[in-house]
Amino acid sequence: MSIAIRPFVKKDLTRFVSAISPLLSPSAVNFALITDTHDKAKFATTYYGPTGYWHVREQQWLSGQLPLALRVHLGDLVDGSEAPWLTRLRLRNIMADYQSGPVPFLVTKGNHDDNDKFAEKRAGHRGSFLPEVNQTLIFKPNAEQTGVAVSQEGLMVQDFPNLRIIVLNTADVPLIDGHKAFDVKKTLAVSFAQLRNFALALKGAGKRDVLLLSHAPALKENGQPALKFNGRAVHELLRAFNFHASGVLHTDEAPAFGGRLRFDFRQSSGRVVGYLAGHYHLEADYIVNGIHYSLQNTSALMGRHHGLTTKFNRRYDRRFGLPSEYAGYVVSVDTQQRLLSLYGYGAASRVRRFQYSSRMVRFF
């Protein structure tokens, strides 16, 4: 299938393909990754806009030029700042692109995908999506693929010979007594039900190494939780997996998020490769208790002079119609060499490599 993309993007991505093709081992799990497209219908040349959808289309073109196992989107598909019918339309368009391509995909939900940015300005929080909207538009298409297991809460698992990829839904805010009690845009969380399924997914990895993906990381660089609920619990389960330990975890006590969770990873022999996330609109790599957190830059355009643009993106002086308009990655996990590599295009670092072993993570 021929995909029409903008000429300057095709020229830039063709150079990118030529540069990284010799670096991708055929024995590695290689996939394309973008995050935070913040797509919306209102056009802008300085900040967000319909360019988000174009970046998704361009990722599909890229996936046809390389031997990739997956296309990945880490959430905030849309900005969630427009009328509900329009946000639904933009979500459908993005998911239709993933479904139309020949490459399998893993697409998760971000904290903007409930349209709460729009609803915050309306009396009674009108225009906010109930969980069933993203269940239908995002998680169902993932689950319809062969080889992808998806829980009710949006936890996804896909296996490769020596690697298990787990996608955690960090915008998992269930209804309380049948009502939406939290603004999802402001509430990053993992419910207790998903946390229980996460422990089972780690246990089921067996001898495989584990790569964790989600919209937001569980912890910040200073070791404090990045999630309002159960960020520390997610991190402690990853630590326990690395130590092949068993025990009981006491989690947040708030309704729908608290409980006692028993885990047992004594039969596992794999290692956490890393934890890839987006959300913060910058790149960063840091280690907390032996867990490597790796943050990826926003695909969405963030012009230098916009008030909400991060310092990281201001340095790139991102401009509409130039390669700095977008940002994306090809991720390579070589379990034989025990090497995680991230190759970036657009407003992204060109090469980041990290060696992981049974004892440590080493940054190049």
Structural domain boundaries in the chain: 7-363
Rounded CA-CA distance 18/95 in Å is 28
Element (H, E) at 1: none
In tens, the pLDDT along 277-307 reads 999 999 999 999 999 999 999 999 999 999 9
SS3 of residue 59 by DSSP: helix
In tens, the pLDDT along 129-178 reads 999 999 999 999 999 999 999 999 999 999 999 999 999 999 999 999 88
Share of the chain above pLDDT 90, in %: 94
Task: Please indicate, yes or no, whether the overall pTM of this predicted structure exceeds 0.85.
Answer: yes
Determine the pLDDT at residue 358. 58
Give the DSSP letter of residue 137. I
Confidence of residue 255 (pLDDT cuts 50, 70, 90): confident
Contacts of 200 (CB under 8 A, 6+ apart): none
Element (H, E) at 86: helix 84-100
For every residue of 140-161, DSSP letters joined together read HHHHTSTTEEE-TT--EEEEET
For every residue of 93-115, DSSP letters joined together read HHHHHHHHSSS-EEE---TTTT-
Determine the pLDDT at residue 275. 98
Extract the runs of DSSP E, i.e. beta strands, from 257-338. Answer: 260-264, 272-277, 284-288, 291-295, 327-334
CA distances (Å), 285 to each of 119, 347, 353, in order? 34, 16, 10
Give me the residues paired with residue 272 across strands: 210
pLDDT at 362 over 80: no
In tens, the pLDDT along 86-133 reads 999 999 999 999 999 999 999 999 999 999 999 999 998 999 999 999
Q: Does domain 7-363 have CATH number 3.40.50.300?
A: no
Q: Where are the alpha helices (DSSP H) in 154-260?
A: 192-203, 231-243
In tens, the pLDDT along 74-85 reads 999 999 999 999
pLDDT at 45 over 70: yes
CA distances (Å), 92 to each of 3, 86, 236, 248, 295, in order? 18, 10, 36, 41, 26
Confidence of residue 3 (pLDDT cuts 50, 70, 90): confident
Determine the pLDDT at residue 363. 66
